Amino acid sequence: MQKFKGRLLYTGWFNLPWRLVMNDGEEIDILPVINDSLISLNGKRVSYQKTLDSYTLFADVASEFQFKYTPEEYAILLEKKSNGLFINVKAYLDNVLVWLSGRLVEIEIEEDKQIKFFADASEQVFGVYFTDNNSCKVPNGAENTICKAGQPDCCIFLSASSGGFHCEKFNSSIARALLDRLANGNINASRIGNCAILGRKES
């Protein structure tokens, strides 16, 4: 089994490299090893498990889904039955990697068996709730102490409107657009915040 642990600085599926900063400060690109792992599961019956801060794709002979992976094109689960149902693994995995970006994470890979991404439980992080559709209301004061509004290390996911401050890290389409801007150097904010999503609490 291969194990990796460090701070994930993921900026999008096609924004390379997929940066992982190890505890000793060394930075590696985790895409090659992840790509190899996904290739090793290609054609196998697989299942997946997804939580707010983890994603696991694993071989499962009892599964009705077969994994189809073509690097740089698609990653999907096709159902064994003939009803045409499929699950877009790439979309789910990309979503979890965005949510985990900025955080300390652990990655465990067993070739031909599984690939697992999960948050490092030892890191204490600030949590937010979905409050306005997929945006998260930032508690009063946290825009300064946590998000660092107007400061050099302001989080890229902080947004402001007449309704106050919001976190857009867990608002998939907006988060991806902001990460693209960061990857291309088109945003003033510089930090990928390490906040976690705690669930939903409508305002």
pLDDT bin (cut points 50, 70, 90) of residue 162 is: confident
In the prediction, which pLDDT does 77 show?
78
pLDDT bin (cut points 50, 70, 90) of residue 76 is: confident
pLDDT bin (cut points 50, 70, 90) of residue 161 is: confident
Q: Which of 18-22, 68-72, 151-155 has the lowest mean pLDDT?
A: 68-72
How far is the CA of 48 from the CAs of 14, 67, 79, 88, 191, in angstroms? 23, 11, 13, 11, 30
Question: pLDDT of 105-115, one tens digit each?
Answer: 999 999 999 99
